[in-house]
Amino acid sequence: MNSSQELFDAVLTGNSQKARIAVEHALSNGTDVRELIGTMNSAMEEVGRKFSRSEIFLPEMMVAARAMKSAMEILEPLIVGNPILARGKIVIGTIKGDLHDIGKNLVAMMFKGAGFEVVDIGVDVSREAFLESIRQESPRIVAICALLTTVLTELADAVAFLRDSAARNDFKIMVGGAAVDSEFAERIGADGYADDAGEALQVAKQLLGIA
């Protein structure tokens, strides 16, 4: 079995140690960083498909995401700041009034595995804090998560606030989480909506027109 297949299987099954070993072995053999990122991306997309089909559940998805994160720790120094490898920056956070972070963390890991630089600004994030991060980081995408139905008004206000900001044309807004659906996302003016972490990556690629 070659290193790429070993890496794919390690991420798919959530084996962090094997994932790191596979990355280190591949790098020592001269494997291109982009190939390794693509392999992990493919593995997590398969994890996302299995999750969507209820073939695996949240614990298995989280273990796979942790394995990818562990392997990405080796690759990140080679990606950050490299315009050839980096696909751009994404700011992600959970909207004000919502302290949940599991879904946000999974989405952030998916983005990192696909070669994005991710700025995670945490939970309970106000619209003003999102805007400040946008001004500091100049992201291509702002991803806002919401699990509780009680924060939907806050989410709608934040999207409108960011949409009307001076920098609005420089980034796309994605929303997602258990409290959100595609109809609501469209109604509040978000550029994209994702139901889970696997879909979030595909939507981000579509918004930016990349493969």
Residues 138 and 59 in one domain: no
Is 151 within 8 Å of 124 (Cβ atoms)? no
Q: Give the model's pLDDT for residue 7.
A: 94
User: Residue 97 belongs to what domain range?
Assistant: 87-211
Q: Tens-of-pLDDT digits for all 211 residues of the chain?
A: 688 899 999 999 999 999 999 999 999 999 988 888 889 888 887 887 888 788 998 888 889 988 988 998 898 787 765 655 567 899 999 999 999 988 898 888 888 877 788 999 999 999 999 999 999 999 999 999 999 999 999 999 999 999 888 555 689 999 999 899 999 999 999 999 998 877 898 899 899 988 6
Residue 70: give its domain's CATH number.
Answer: 1.10.1240.10
Residue 91: give its domain's CATH number.
Answer: 3.40.50.280
Residues 27 and 115 in one domain: no
Residues 95 and 5 in one domain: no
Residue 91 φ then ψ, to 5°: -95, 130
Residues 99 and 133 in one domain: yes
Name the packing angle between helices 102-113 and 33-52 (round to 10°): 140
Residue at a domain's end among 26, 50, 82:
82
Is 78 within 8 Å of 84 (Cβ atoms)? no
Q: Give the model's pLDDT for residue 126.
A: 97
Residues 1 and 72 in one domain: yes
Residues 10 and 95 in one domain: no
Residues 4 and 72 in one domain: yes
Q: Give the model's pLDDT for residue 168.
A: 57
CA angle 28, 32, 37 (to 5 degrees): 110
Residues 112 and 205 in one domain: yes
Residue 165 φ then ψ, to 5°: -75, 160
Nearest to 95 by CA among 18, 12, 188, 167: 188
Q: Give the model's pLDDT for residue 161.
A: 95
The pTM of this model reads 0.78
Report the Cα–Cα distance between both ends of the chain, in Å, rounded.
27
Nearest to 109 by CA among 206, 37, 25: 37
Residues 127 and 180 in one domain: yes
Distance CA 141, CA 50 (A): 26
Residue at a domain's end among 82, 109, 126:
82
Q: Give the model's pLDDT for residue 73.
A: 87
Residue 157 φ then ψ, to 5°: -65, -40
Is 42 within 8 Å of 193 (Cβ atoms)? no
Residue at a domain's end among 82, 101, 123:
82
